[in-house]
Amino acid sequence: MRTLVILTMVILANFMFAQNTIKEKSFERKGLIFGLGMGVGSLSLNTNDTLSNLITATLPNIKIGYMLSNRFALLALLPGANYKYKEKDRGYEGILISGQYWVKNNWWVLGGSGLTFDAPAFYTIDEPKTAEFYTGLPALTFSTGYEVWHKGKFAMDLQYRLFYGKSSIANNGFREGVSNMLIVGFNWYKEI
């Protein structure tokens, strides 16, 4: 029994020592960053005090920017969610300036603000002059993600995104939305 205890302690000590000496492989981020994401989640819309909650998809969730350091990027972000209004597909989206910071090698956080867009899906527009395009302030986002795969200059991450926006609609009305999305993101880094 004593031999078994000593052997177990030696194996555990070697295992713990090995864990402490393994160096985390760093992924180098430089230059331009281009990201594309798709996912699902919930969208809560308040239109002139009429509340609706929907399960919705999000696509394409584009981000374009530049790595100012290996841990911080300045980005233009286009988040959003899709929904149906009067039997037509619409997007509750935004154009935001945001900062993305890698807290750890694979874990990042992002925050930003900008302009809200509430518009029909491009494939539903028959006559652009009669399409209902709405904008407004503010648009805010917070997201966090974890990069689960790297290869060359590519990275794939799993992310959670909270997006809030408010737009002015016809007849002095408003539409306010909050989306909570789980997204799979694909990112490409390009040195220039």
In 3D space, the residue among 176, 158, 152, 157 whose CA is nearest the CA of residue 166 turns out to be 176
Structure pTM?
0.82
What's the average model confidence in pLDDT over 67-91?
92
Lowest mean per-residue pLDDT among 6-15, 92-101, 144-153: 6-15
Closest to 156 (Cα-Cα) out of 39, 41, 35? 35
Helix (H) or strand (E) holding 29: none
User: At the top level of CATH, which class does the domain 26-190 belong to?
Assistant: mainly beta
pLDDT at residue 12, as a whole number: 47
Q: What is the pLDDT of residue 10?
A: 52
Read off the pLDDT of each residue in 101-118 and give the average, rounded to a whole number. 96
- Per-residue pLDDT tens digits for 45-54: 998 888 999 9
* Per-residue burial over 137-163, b = 16 or more CB atoms within 10 Å of its CB, e = otherwise: eebbbebbbebeebeebebebbbebbb
Q: Alpha carbon of 165 to those of 54, 95, 115, 132, 171: distances in Å?
A: 16, 10, 8, 17, 19
Task: Break the chain into its structural domains and give their ranges.
Answer: 26-190
Over residues 128-171, the pLDDT tens digits come to 777 888 999 999 999 999 999 999 999 999 999 999 999 998 88
